Amino acid sequence: MVGKDTEGRKNAELHRLEEAAGGGRVAHTGFLEPDVSAQLVHALTGLGVSARAWGGFAGARRRVVTAFPSHIPEASTSLTSVCLPEVGDTANLRSLVSAAGVPREALGDSVQHREGVALVTFDPPPAELTSLSALEGHPVTPRVVPLDTGVAGGLRRLSVVVPSLRVDVVGAKGFRVSRSYFSKGVAGGKVSVNGNRVGKSGGAEVGDEIYAEGLGRLRVLSVDGETRRGNVKVSLEVEAT
């Protein structure tokens, strides 16, 4: 759903997570699209709530947001994957599995596992997924397999020197692409900051998450001073797809 209903559901989730963390409990969402997960984390952080988003591997598109009380150093939600060896392509797999009765919020990214196509999901997986016997009339035999961290991109930290914290400048440096290439993504509406689409002159701040479709996401960890020429030293954490 879109519009007011989507905004209402997001606000309800925000309230639920804030209340749980404030009451000393760990709580999590289902798998969310990149913009919604980023918006929730940003909003929770703004409220002083510890939160993180994770999709099972670095660069995952769909992620689960976990909120936790401040006395806990770190928390996340247990994830695994379910392999469907008979399926040869990841395209539309999540939609097919959802149409077969598996809750969409229980399904993360579809990935090419070494044993076949797999879907990231919660640990333990939903019974609707592990008990699947057919997809579009073809037999399948789901198997729970460990998450293979090699199925997608990687996580790295780096320090860069940039003339400003404009999104196109930071994004190009972080993803190691040309500024003109990254700017085309911004102009095409494929780049967001904390879940909100950004314009060509948009900027980023410490703590912000920049998401670029097809490239991954990065977080601005810190600004570490200026060079003699007035450029800015910035530390980034990059999840490449």
pLDDT given for residue 152 in this prediction: 55
pLDDT given for residue 147 in this prediction: 83
- Pick the range with the lowest mean pLDDT from 86-90, 101-105, 162-166: 86-90
- Encode pLDDT of 170-180 as tens digits: 999 999 999 99
- pLDDT range class, residue 143, cuts 50, 70, 90: very high
Q: Calculate the average pLDDT of the chain.
A: 92
Q: Which of 189, 175, 111 is nearest to 145 (CA)?
A: 111
- pLDDT range class, residue 119, cuts 50, 70, 90: very high
Average pLDDT of the residues in 64-91: 91
Please state whether the predicted TM-score (pTM) of the whole model is above 0.95: no
- Encode pLDDT of 196-241 as tens digits: 999 988 999 999 999 999 999 999 999 999 999 999 999 999 998 8
Average pLDDT of the residues in 51-69: 95
- pLDDT range class, residue 153, cuts 50, 70, 90: low
